[in-house]
Amino acid sequence: MASMRRFRAALAVVMSAILGLGILGSIPASAAGVDAWMTVDTNHPAAGCVVDTSVEVRSGGGPLAGAEVTIVLSDDASSYIIDSMSGTTNSSGIAWLAFDTSAAWSAKAWLEVQVNGSYLGGRTIWIDGSSCSGATSVLDLSGDVPIVTDSWVPEASSSNSSIAADGSFITPVIYGQQRPLSCEYAAVQIATGMIGYTVSEYEMEAVTPLSDNPHWGYRGNINGSWGNTDDYGIYANALTPGLNYYGYAATSFYGGTNTLTNAIDNGLPVIVWLGMRGDLSHNEYTADGTRYQVTAYMHVMVVYGYDSDGVYLSDPGTGSKKYYSWGDFLWMWDVMDEMGLIVGA
């Protein structure tokens, strides 16, 4: 959970200061004063893998030797620590590390980086691959906000699901949502407008229930302010009955880049849920104990195309087209468990 990660990070910094060990003497206490990069051999390993990881640290334009670097892999839902490893940067400012996925409880994990006791950031690791190797993933920890760049692309399957150089596209519909938190309903209007009768955001709202659990209905006030988790929105499964009511097929899925590209190849738009500012998630519970995730600054767009470099989307928030590299897109989509909704006629 994001709150637990922030607690551990804050605790590490506070304890270093209280103990007066001089740990932070070799680098500025603020992460913004350090340039650091974490390279992971694959961010989609199989269970039971040891994944090589390196962290390069630079300060003032030069390599920072002798810095203590720690990586911690934890279960995303429970914050249970799966594995951790520490090392010291060499004369080139690089620490060579690894993490073991053998003790993972679920497919979604979080890998965080600490340098000299200061938390610098982290990224989602999906323990859902078929091997222990793959294309590398690079996390840029420089400055205040981590930026992810992945070279990972989905493996080709027997169907036409690989990412081709020339890509695949549907003629997009551009539309701006009419209320602060109506992006999901606006996304339905965009997606249905691409393939047939346009279901307006107001028509969709009229046939959709309300619920604290966004998997069951719309959560909060649709006229609230974006970014909080009380006035929030709705998830894929809860949109399906409304789409069915208007004569559309709807298929929700999680963790499926191949599923996404297959849909576009077949001329079907895909609504996607994105954590626009990274993993600012926490769990909440219904009265019967059902757990669900909510994420601050969640937003919804419609994918209408892709190529070997990235993804093309219609953004109801700005009423414009958007493009993200595969790395940037996966960084945001991973936060929401790669939730998607295929809209078909």
Instruction: List per-block mean pLDDT (blocks of 10 residues) for the chain, which spans 345 residues.
Output: 37 32 31 73 91 89 86 82 90 93 88 80 86 80 47 34 63 94 97 96 96 97 95 97 95 89 95 94 93 95 94 93 91 94 92
pLDDT of residue 142: 63
CA distances for 82 relative to 1, 72, 233, angstroms: 14, 8, 32
For residues 32 and 19, what is the distance between their CA atoms, to the nearest angstrom? 23
Residue where a domain stops, chosen among 101, 123, 150: 150
The answer to whether 198 touches 192, Cβ cutoff 8 Å, is yes
Query: Are both 101 and 214 inside the same structural domain?
Result: no
For residues 71 and 111, what is the distance between their CA atoms, to the nearest angstrom? 7
pLDDT of residue 1: 40
Non-local (6+) Cβ contacts of 14 within 8 A are: none
pLDDT of residue 68: 85
Query: Are both 133 and 201 inside the same structural domain?
Result: no
Residue 62 is assigned to a structural domain of this protein? yes
Query: Are both 132 and 178 inside the same structural domain?
Result: no
pLDDT of residue 33: 60
Query: Are both 181 and 105 inside the same structural domain?
Result: no
Q: What is the CA radius of gyration of the chain?
A: 21
Q: Which two tokens stand for residue 218?
A: 């719309």
* 239 phi and psi angles, rounded to 5 deg: -85, -20
Query: Are both 128 and 185 inside the same structural domain?
Result: no
Question: β-strands 94-100, 50-59: how paired?
Answer: antiparallel
Non-local (6+) Cβ contacts of 219 within 8 A are: 210, 211, 212, 213, 230, 231, 232, 233, 234, 294
Residue 317 is assigned to a structural domain of this protein? yes
Where do the DSSP E strands lie in the chain? 35-40, 50-59, 62-63, 68-75, 81-88, 94-100, 108-115, 118-126, 137-140, 147-150, 168-169, 249-254, 270-275, 281-285, 291-295, 298-306, 310-315, 320-325, 339-344
Show contacts of 212-219: CB within 8 Å, 24+ apart: 212/284, 212/286, 213/286, 213/290, 213/292, 214/238, 214/292, 214/294, 215/292, 218/184, 219/294
Residue 160 is assigned to a structural domain of this protein? no
What is the domain range of residue 259?
168-344
Per-residue pLDDT tens digits for 132-143:
887 787 777 764
Residue 163 is assigned to a structural domain of this protein? no
* 23 phi and psi angles, rounded to 5 deg: -60, -35
Query: Are both 131 and 260 inside the same structural domain?
Result: no
Residue where a domain stops, chosen among 118, 150, 182: 150
CATH number for the domain including 288? 3.90.70.10
Query: Are both 120 and 189 inside the same structural domain?
Result: no
Query: Are both 267 and 329 inside the same structural domain?
Result: yes
Query: Are both 184 and 281 inside the same structural domain?
Result: yes
Non-local (6+) Cβ contacts of 119 within 8 A are: 5, 6, 8, 9, 10, 12, 13, 31, 112, 113
pLDDT of residue 124: 84
Per-residue pLDDT tens digits for 161-205:
334 446 899 999 999 999 999 999 999 999 999 999 999 999 999
* Side chain identity at residue 75, one-letter code: D
Question: β-strands 62-63, 68-75: how paired?
Answer: unpaired
Residue 117 is assigned to a structural domain of this protein? yes
* Environment class of 115 (CB within 10 Å of its CB; exposed 0-12, middle 13-18, buried 19+): buried
Query: Are both 119 and 48 inside the same structural domain?
Result: yes
Q: Which two tokens stand for residue 192?
A: 């249905």
Residue 295 is assigned to a structural domain of this protein? yes
Residue 93 is assigned to a structural domain of this protein? yes
Non-local (6+) Cβ contacts of 279 within 8 A are: 2, 110, 122, 124, 295, 335
Query: Are both 87 and 13 inside the same structural domain?
Result: yes
Number of structural domains, the chain? 2
**Is the C-alpha dihedral spanning 159, 343, 328, 31 positive or negative?**
negative
Q: Which two tokens stand for residue 121?
A: 């950031």
The answer to whether 165 touches 174, Cβ cutoff 8 Å, is no
Residue where a domain stops, chosen among 88, 117, 150: 150
The answer to whether 152 touches 42, Cβ cutoff 8 Å, is yes
Find, among 113, 186, 183, 178, the residue nearest to 148 by Cα: 113
Q: Which two tokens stand for residue 18?
A: 């209280």
Q: Which two tokens stand for residue 197?
A: 């009768």
CATH number for the domain including 48? 2.60.40.1930
**Model-level pTM?**
0.56
pLDDT of residue 17: 32
Query: Are both 114 and 243 inside the same structural domain?
Result: no
Residue 161 is assigned to a structural domain of this protein? no
